[in-house]
A and B are shown apart, each in its own frame.
Chain A
Amino acid sequence: MMFKLILCSLAVFLGRLAALLCRLAGREATSLPGYIALKVYPGLLGQLARGLSPVIIVTGTNGKTTTSNLLARLLAAQGRQVVSNGEGANMPAGVATALLKGARGKGHGPAAVLEVDEGSLGIVLRQVSAHLVVVTNLLRDQLDRYHELDQLASSIKGALAQVPEARLLLNADDPLVASLGGDGREVIYYSLERTPLSRTRPADVLEGHLCPSCRVPLAYTYYHYGHLGSYRCPHCGWARPEGAFRGEDFHREEDGFSLDFVFNDGRIRLTSPLPGVYNAYNVLAAGSAGMLLGVEPSVIREVVKDFRPGRGRVEGFRLAGKEGVLVLVKNPVGMAEALRTVAGNRPAAYVVAINDLAADGRDVSWLWDVDLEPLLKSPYARIICSGLRAWDMAVCLKYSGVSLEALRVIPDLEAALREAVEEPVDYLIILSTYTNLALCRRLLKGMGAQSEAAYMPPVSRPA
């Protein structure tokens, strides 16, 4: 016992020391301190989380970072102290780093909003007794890491069984996520009703669209994207659960979107500057969790109105008099949504930087599952493929119908970015997989890019 206590204190001390050293060295420490501390004392997560209440875990393949950042902002706006790993460092080391920063030992501590990687959920929940677990969606992502979605769903189920007291907040529109409910505990669902962008046929590659009990394909009345939508099993009748929180009357606005956020005894109109239907889900997930934790609807409306995630996802910048966006892409659904968001009707120069390191996914075959239509329809002036898998991307674009005159392959990222800036267009679109993202930011900064806080999606401007 004594020994454990000493180890634990030592781990906290070393972790905080590492964080301090990183700061002194001018580096951001999102994982290293936690990594060191967990090496010293693997049971540290449980210790650190003890003083936090409530603990909210956000998991799922897409939307974790935006959802957890927004939820943390909502709780803070309601006057709560919040600890969160808002930088997207969502493996155990990142979670530990966040807790090291925030946890202050005994007493009624702050709330914790923790984004946790789907694959790490089991490890984290073994130690941390969560009060609320939010599951955003289970879309195809890095399959060489997690193999298959069914397997992932059952591993999440197993992880959740470790916290039988935790409430679940689930995305009703994702049949795989919805099927996580039904083990007797309190489950709350949120859903998005039909939008002007809904389709009656799937546009993206499907997966996870079988009835979890009968294994027959589900029948959809509409799809939002991926396998998210309104579904019913033609065999047993299992259908999308009724959402306690619903997004209705979604409208795409010039800058972002608006929707009615509907809950049991009311509805409010939310407007958000974030682009795309996938951000409507992030707002719904965070808003629903906020309501469950006592955040006032008026606070939700005010925070959502101005909420823009800091880094990651879509980052705007200005460079050499041009407007630019940098977007993280990591799977077919995410990349298709990103293209729908940023590919406008202005001539643009693209850099598509694809790597295949562990954090990107070693298998790049997912590139062929991306719905490239928004790109193909947009007036692209130049598409430069870059990164370790530049040639793979170029071949994929060639067969998708991109004109060869517009296509260039420049594996070196710096050379690719410099070439793109030279193009006689005033809009730059940079799509990057995870391990190229930091390098992209650094290179752009080195070239003189100014980050643009107010990013305006260029979709609705006339040609």
Chain B
Amino acid sequence: MKLHICHLYPDLLNLYGDRGNLLVLYRRARWRGIAVEITGVSLGDPLDPKLYDLFFLGGGPDQEQGVAAGDLLTKGPWLREAVEEGAAVLAICGGYQLVGRYYRTAGGDILPGLGLLPVYTEAGNSRLKGNIAVRSPCLDDPRPVVGFENHGGRTFIEAEGSGEPLGYVVFGFGNNGSDGTEGCICGKVIGTYLHGPLLAKNPHLADYVLSLALKRRYRGVVLPPLEDELEWKANEAFLRRFGRGVGERENKKGVTLARSAAG
């Protein structure tokens, strides 16, 4: 088995430990005997839509993100084709905004996005930043997804679209700080504001992304459980520290589960 991952703009969109997400996917695949090839694709590079199972798009500083956004639109048709043929996408922070329909600046300008997710983003006047935990109905494991968010944009899921929130905020801001949603999932395209990096302390989500990506080429793949004690301890410690007891109950259950699965 081999997983092909495309890292979009690794030289521009690399804020906040984003490369950690790729490292987590890489290791979790390798530990299960799955080969992984990660290819960086940046400004002006062509993109073969048939080749990749997963596209990863991180966040960057405003200027770098602007440069990437312009180039990304030229790659739009290839990316849409890849998604139609079953590739998965994980887009974080600035990347999440770029795969939405548009970004409306403070001055009212509309910057078009790829439209892979039925969401739009509006500039806000303060940054939404801090530790965040969400509950994701997509995951079988009920333990919260935890991370850090730091974004000025307010993102909204279109009411009539086919997108669902990736999760519901337990504490933190989420998409816009007002409607309690965080991120968006539509088919195999996932966008979220959580970095930290996202997948490190959330092995359930990491494996979910991994299985979405593997599905393109290998149907019915079941990922055997891994020894995730450290990861869950980190998730637990986070909730204990910032959640004031939120999720403690599930987490205790979770650690027992993880232990019995590993043992």
Contacts and interface: CB of A to CB of B under 8 A. Distances in A.
Interface of A: 143-144, 147-151, 205-210, 215-217, 362-369, 388, 390-392, 394-396, 398-400, 407, 409, 411
Interface in B14-68: 14-20, 23-24, 27, 43, 61-64, 66-67
B185 to A, nearest CB: 22
Contacts of A208: 61
B67 A215 contact: yes
B188 interface: no
Contacts of B195: 365
A70 B54 CA distance: 51
A143 B15 CA distance: 9
Q: State the main secondary structure of chain A at its contact with B.
A: helix
Interface of B: 11-12, 14-20, 23-24, 27, 43, 61-64, 66-67, 127, 129-131, 148, 150, 195-197, 200-201, 230-231, 233-234, 237-238, 241
Contacts of A364: 148, 196
Nearest to A212: B63
Given A391-B230, A395-B230, A409-B233, A210 B17 contact: no
A388 B19 contact: no
A388 B195 CA distance: 18
A399 to B, nearest CB: 5
B148 A148 contact: no
A394 B234 contact: yes
Contacts of B15: 143, 207
Contacts of B129: 144, 362-363
Contact of B200 (A143, A209, A399): A399
Nearest to B236: A391
Q: State the main secondary structure of chain B at its contact with A.
A: mixed
Given A363-B150, A409-B233, A369 B241 contact: no
28 contacts: A144-B129, A148-B61, A150-B63, A207-B14, A215-B63, A215-B66, A216-B67, A217-B43, A217-B67, A362-B130, A363-B16, A363-B148, A365-B17, A365-B20, A365-B196, A367-B17, A368-B17, A368-B18, A368-B20, A368-B23, A369-B17, A390-B237, A391-B238, A392-B201, A395-B234, A396-B20, A407-B230, A409-B233
Contact of A365 (B11, B16, B238): B16
Nearest to B130: A362
B136 to A, nearest CB: 19
B222 to A, nearest CB: 23
Nearest to B235: A391
Contacts of B17: 365-369
A10 B11 CA distance: 54
A391 B234 contact: yes
A354 to B, nearest CB: 12
